Structure 1
């Protein structure tokens, strides 16, 4: 269970860097960092550079973040995803809901 959170106060950008697994084991940390009673940041970066696997709860967490951040107005970038994770995100239609880099 590993989640590193950085907040750039000047840009109001919250960056989340995950360890090997983006799954239910990081749900509590994810919720506290992104949703737990705080106002939405202006933008978010989800760094999947170290992630080997993600499950359906990870997709659900991303959807909760999108809703919290303003839905269609949300600025959320998913970066450094491996080709297999990019494939999973595209199959789920997340390439239409988030910016994939």
Structure 2
């Protein structure tokens, strides 16, 4: 998996591409921790447009990230196909805004 981060007026975006699995742990943690260190950040979008698969370890990484976000809004965007199914089965719509 690869990540690409961007910032714009209090909003950060982490764009993921590839397969989001346990093997992605180091890459995701590095990108997410760098995001949270950005001053003035109030909202974070995680973009799944280029992700074709995610596993239960990825769900755990998202939960940890949400906890570390310390009240900042975390939104999951461009979720479809298998990714959307996994998020729906795990009831992540109750934890995150999913668009």
TM-score with structure 1 length normalisation?
0.82
The Cα RMSD (Å) is 2.0
The question of 1:54 aligning with 2:54 is answered: yes
Query: C-alpha separation between the residues in 1 aligned to 2:11 and 2:18?
Result: 23
Cα distance 1:3–1:69, how it changes in 2: closer, same or farther (>3 A)?
same
Unpaired runs of at least 5, structure 1: none
- Greater CA deviation, 87-96 or 11-20? 11-20
Q: How does 1:3-82 map to 2 (within 5 A)?
A: 3-8=3-8, 11-35=9-33, 38=37, 41-70=41-70, 73-82=71-80
- Structure 1 runs of 4+ with >4 Å offset: none
Higher strand share: 2
The question of 1:96 aligning with 2:94 is answered: yes
Q: Secondary structure at the match of 2:31?
A: helix
Residue 78 of structure 1, CA deviation: 0.7
Provide the aligned length of Structure 1 versus Structure 2: 97
TM-superposition CA deviations, 1:16-60 (whole Å, max 9, x none) = 111121112322122122236836831111111111100111111
Query: C-alpha separation between the residues in 2 aligned to 1:34 and 1:42?
Result: 14
